[in-house]
Chain A
Amino acid sequence: MPSGWMGKILDVDLTAGKISTRDTMAYAGDYIGGRAMAGRIAWDEIPAGVDAYDPENRIIIATGPLTGTLAPTSGRTVMTSLSPRVYPRPWYTHSTLGGWFGPELKYAGFDAIVIHGRADSPVYLEIRDGEARLVDATDLWGLDARETQLTLKGRMSPQTQVLTIGPAGENLVRFATVQHAEENAAGHSGFGAVWGSKNLKAITVRGTGGVSVANPEALLREVIGAGTFKKSPAVAVVFEGDQNLRKEESPDDGGVDPAASADSAESNGRRPICSQACTFDCIIGSYERTVDERLIPAFCIGAVWRHESFMQDTEYSGGGVEVPPGRNFGLCEEVSLHELCNKLGLDLWFRLVMQPWFIRCKQLGIGEIRGHPIEPEDLFWFERFMHQLANREGLGEIFAEDLVRAMDELEGELPAELIHLGRELEFDFGFPAHREGRFWDEEPLPFWVISAMMHISTSRDPTIGTHSSCLINAEFFLDDRELARRQFRLLSEKVWGDPDALEPTFENKAPVAIWSQHQHMLIDSLPLCDFAFPQLVRPMESRKAWQNAEDILGDLDLDLRLFAAVTGVELTREEMTRIAERAFTLERALLARAGRGRKMEETLAPHFKLPCRADGTLIDEAGFSGLLDEYYSARGWDLELGWPQADQLRELGLEEIIPELDERRRQSKAYSESPP
């Protein structure tokens, strides 16, 4: 067996209480690991037509060959399942989480876990060095995610790594998370509720083995060569000097020893990391203190809660939609609220859509909903509301279904503007608007067009795989448009063979969207972190370095070399891209199985008629339809449904899925010709 993989996947049948193993290498050649491998398992094993809460739904937790090694940022884990959050009906999607669980799983001898069935009563799965068993978790049910982890670590060992749900998952909140450590979570896809539906409270893992490396010298050479504590380009350029995101505090005493700080804390900018083997200086992490003076980390959206100006960035006005600014409750209050969110196991993103929506209610004179008062700018009301969400009590019972489903429930009771607003805030099949250039962050043309193509074609919002590879480059545009355009023309010629690929136009953006999606698939499968890979733009240490650069292209083949060093398997870029395309196509087939296709994807069009917050650009329905045509064509999918076609499936080695897709095509055609 090549190095990197452990060779075993753990199969857990919660209904029968049985545990078995299968061979990872049956998948590794065609799918590598992680998200790509999980998609294959999902296609083969999740029956068509089942609901997210059906015992036959699978929870797949997968690592990749780089997980647990020294490869930078490789300590990640992917989780996939049918998502209860997806609107209007569940389909298969994925989340990834950082932390230390995936590496420990490999040290225990397993590449992945596939869970199905439903336990009669709460259980947790305990994994230790090649062995696994189900343990009664009745005493843990009801504990929050932090209490659960501390309890299980106390019972086993501090080195034990834990995935767990909080009360929100137990109570089937549609945006419930699976939590790990302080801040890591499979957060966006509501998989915590799937765990809850299966009576699965937690998974613990402890392993004392290691991950073999085919060429240790090569791996060390690559890691040393990549450098440590490199800033991502956007950090250097856009956030340089942003003191609010650069707190310099020591975790134990609230301040850095001046004697020790000269060449360490102060100059390096002390920030936490979110994943084992991360060597980067990442903008998304920060330490802050809770109201009871404990220092805790926050990453990405967690840091947004704490950042006053970021919360105000929810403000948007255009196209008849008014989104008020969110309300920041003060730094330590926000830190504590944010910690509470993690404890309860709620997706941190709920705040970004629900708080502005409730504030708009108040602005329109709505003071209560079904007898429940709403005070979204009151800290104590908001804290209580979070508990109500997690426990499905009071107002929480309605909104635990997520904002977009709450709009269906409340339609006719509230002003149409509010219902419309709620649907726009979660326009992307139930996922909060993000990376779409309107409500949250700024993506000027052409970046929101690339993003729109990704929204229409992927199983969830395209946020995660595009942080560094594509969309964050919009920040360069916003900062110095002419310089960025000049640099991007050179970069585009080199990467996509087309100097116009990132020109601010609507045309010919599919190659960048597809490239980004394939890169995303690979970093979720090797795995690597999307804030650090792919290095489309090379790390730069300062704004000045960026301004003086003409050629900004990064090292796009670092992933290939890390993969070869760890596994001993040499793949070309073309071979790796083919694996990504195969896996992405299979995910598309899973969407087709759930009935998703062009008709449903055209329903996203109205959101893109709203003016882009950065430059006011927009697109009408006909133009949006043209984006679908361009994207589907570039993918080789049919234009009627937007599904992969037989020749393409054969070429990718997916001929076995052709009969099912053919049958679904026939059913779809019959339906459109004579709808019931």
Chain B
Amino acid sequence: MTRNKRIHVDARLCRDCQVCVLACSLHHEGECNLCLARLVVTKDMARYEFDILICQHCDSPDCILACPTDAMLLDDRGVVIIVDEECIRCGACLISCPYDAIFYNEVQDRYLKCDLCAGREEGPLCVALCPVGVLTLVDVEAVRVGV
């Protein structure tokens, strides 16, 4: 279901409910922890604006080029994933990401990023649970040609 897909974000619709973030950490880590999710909702209180940072699974991912080991790779779905066992915690991927969508959890000393809910046949949970359609799963090809 997630082959050659990515998650499109229309942050204008966001309500800051954090359901996507909570679902992400619950699915991946078994707890509700905003700092262990693979996406982040940000809010500017002064202007009442939101943004959602999540991996766009680039065609030529800078993070893979930046990684000095084999910790960043494209899996057979075309999804960029982190292999934690190979990661040397250098942070090069985080710095290289043009979407600020790779996150460092200081408590666990781990880097985290979206894997489109690998292993979940129904697709990413954040997309399924977003109440207002901020997150949609789209074909990479469709996005590329502006469909």
A residues sitting closer than 8 Å to B (CB atoms) are: 68-70, 75, 100, 103, 107, 149-150, 153, 158, 181-182, 208-213, 216, 219-220, 223-224, 228-229, 250-253, 256-257, 260, 263-265, 268, 270-273, 275-281, 294-297
Contact = CB atoms under 8 A, between A and B. Distances in A.
Contacts of A229: 131-132
Contact of A212 (B31, B35, B46, B125): B31
A209 B131 contact: no
Given A251-B12, A270-B132, A277-B22, 19 more contacts: A68-B32, A149-B45, A153-B45, A216-B27, A219-B26, A220-B23, A223-B23, A224-B128, A251-B49, A252-B49, A253-B12, A263-B133, A264-B132, A265-B13, A270-B13, A273-B15, A276-B17, A279-B17, A294-B48
B139 interface: no
B133 A264 contact: yes
Nearest to B106: A208
B107 A209 contact: yes
B119 interface: no
A211 B31 contact: yes
Contacts, number: 126
Interface stretch (B36-44, B58-66, B91-99): B36-44
Contact of A209 (B18, B33, B50): B33
- Interface residue tally on B, bucketed by range: 35 or more
A286 to B, nearest CB: 12
B130 interface: yes
A70 B32 contact: yes
13 contacts: A69-B26, A70-B22, A100-B16, A107-B35, A158-B42, A210-B33, A211-B32, A224-B129, A252-B12, A260-B13, A268-B13, A280-B131, A294-B47
A271 B17 CA distance: 12
A69 B31 CA distance: 8
B12 A250 contact: yes
A70 B18 CA distance: 9
Contacts of B17: 273, 275-279
B71 interface: no
B10 to A, nearest CB: 5
A70 B13 contact: no
A210 B22 CA distance: 10
Q: At the interface, is chain B mostly helix, strand, loop or mixed? A: mixed
A296 B26 contact: no
Given A158-B43, A229-B131, A251-B12, A70 B19 contact: yes
B41 to A, nearest CB: 10
Contacts of A107: 33-35
Contacts of B34: 107, 210
A270 B13 CA distance: 7
A296 B131 contact: no
Nearest to B15: A273
Of listed B22, B36, B105, residue having the most chain A CB within 10 A: B22
Contacts of A250: 12-13
Contact of A70 (B10, B26, B29, B42): B26
Contacts of A265: 12-13, 132
B23 A296 contact: no
B35 A272 contact: no
B30 A216 contact: yes
Interface in B94-116: 105-107
B18 to A, nearest CB: 5
A158 B27 CA distance: 26
Contacts of A182: 45, 48
A579 B121 CA distance: 40
Contact of B131 (A75, A281, A295): A281
Nearest to A296: B48
